[in-house]
């Protein structure tokens, strides 16, 4: 990316462990707007949970599909390319393979998105809108690149160390 | 990844557009378990929504934090490294920059995770558990690599074309 910065997006997410496998995650938006929401994840019996909420992967995929759909509708207005309906379907696949440190390691196999649009606009305009939405969708752009993901670890309220 | 496959994870996510910016996403797990859940996203006034649900980025980050926390607890049992409490905090940043196709393009700036563990286990075992959880977390592993993301587009129920 070499464009001029338009705005920044900053979120803090803090998860606490409750129940057997349930996590309650508080999301605090810092920019470009401020908000606080809580979302809970759980696991079914496969992972030893109690099924009180959807799994983390379902939240992740909702973020992906919802982000692209949101960008299509938001950019529809900005680009003046009318869309009267949109549906997005995503097939997502991962493999768990034997690892060297833990029981298994995760590996993404790909994300295949079908974008189903109803519009009176010329087909080339709709295609341009969808292309713009893909580039504007923060989640898609995150999937497209190897990201900087850093970790710190603290045990029993001791010092933070890089992990 | 070059390990032996342990299991596959397959999800379908289908989003429909309702309201101004609200999306209702139906998640269907195909493997290794089967389930159906629905999660809704919306936007606040910043993006022209009505705030009936959290934003897609909040779902995405809940997936990330929830996945790592789930793996820590799941692998705690499998590796017999006791953990009596775990909290995870994530700072996530993106930039929107001027684009060539649409109003702006998204660019991830990084994900910084603080893992806060309470445990009577030796510190090196806790560190090994967290490392195993990072590798076992499907969302983290998805962020770590450039992913295959493909699109097809259909307009007014015509033919599907690659987009």
The verdict on B147 touching A (C-beta cutoff 8 Å) is: yes
What are the strands of the beta sheet with B161-162, ordered from one edge? B35-41, B22-31, B5-18, A85-97, A105-118, B149-155, B161-162
Each residue of B123-162: pLDDT tens digit? 999 999 999 999 999 999 999 999 999 999 999 999 999 9
Site from B2, B59, B90, B154 to mutate, A interface, most A CB atoms within 10 angstroms: B59
pLDDT value for B46? 76
CB B58, CB A64: distance < 8 Å = no
**A14–B73 C-beta distance less than 8 A:** no
Q: Among B37, B47, B116, select the one facing A70 at the smallest CB separation.
A: B47
Residue B148 backbone phi and psi in degrees, to 5: -75, 115
A6/B99 Cα distance (integer angstroms): 10
CA closest to B121 among chain A residues: A155
Model pLDDT, residue A2: 60
Per-residue model confidence as pLDDT tens digits over B60-101 = 999 999 999 999 999 999 999 999 999 999 999 999 999 889
Please tell me which of the candidates B56, B132, B163 has its beta carbon nearest to residue A101. Answer: B132
Minimum CA–CA partner of A10 in chain B: B93
Cβ atoms of A136 and B106 within 8 Å: the answer is yes
Q: Do A59 and B63 touch (CB under 8 A)?
A: yes
The pLDDT assigned to B1 comes to 47
The dihedral of CA A58, B58, B46, A111: what is its sign?
negative
d(CA A96, CA B75): 14
Instruction: Tell me what the mean pLDDT of segment A131-148 comes to.
Output: 97
Helices A56-79, B56-79: axis angle to 10 degrees equals 160
Do B65 and A96 lie within an 8 Å CB cutoff? no
Q: pLDDT value at position A99? A: 87
What confidence tier does A50 reach under pLDDT thresholds 50, 70, 90?
very high
pLDDT in tens, A14-49: 999 999 999 999 999 999 999 999 999 999 987 899
Whether B97 and A45 have beta carbons less than 8 Å apart is answered as no
For B127, nearest residue in chain A (alpha carbons) = A163
- Beta-carbon separation of B140 and A37 below 8 A: no
Would you tell me which residues 82-121 of chain A have a C-beta closer than 8 angstroms to some C-beta of chain B? 85-99, 101-119
């Amino acid at each position: 990316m070499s464009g001029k910065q338009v705005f920044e997006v900053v979120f803090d997410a803090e998860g606490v462990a409750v129940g057997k496998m349930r996590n309650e995650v508080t999301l605090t938006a810092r920019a470009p707007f401020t908000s606080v929401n809580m979302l809970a994840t759980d696991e079914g019996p496969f992972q030893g949970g109690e099924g009180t909420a959807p799994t983390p992967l379902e939240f992740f995929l909702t973020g992906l599909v919802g982000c692209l759909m949101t960008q299509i509708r938001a950019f529809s207005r900005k680009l003046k390319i009318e869309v009267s309906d949109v549906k997005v379907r995503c097939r997502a696949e991962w493999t768990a393979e034997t690892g060297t440190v833990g029981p298994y390691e995760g590996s993404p196999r790909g994300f295949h998105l079908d974008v189903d649009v109803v519009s009176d606009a010329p087909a080339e305009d709709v295609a341009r809108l969808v292309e713009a939405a893909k580039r504007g969708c923060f989640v898609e752009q995150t999937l497209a690149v190897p990201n900087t993901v850093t970790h710190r670890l603290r045990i029993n309220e001791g010092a933070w160390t890089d992990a």
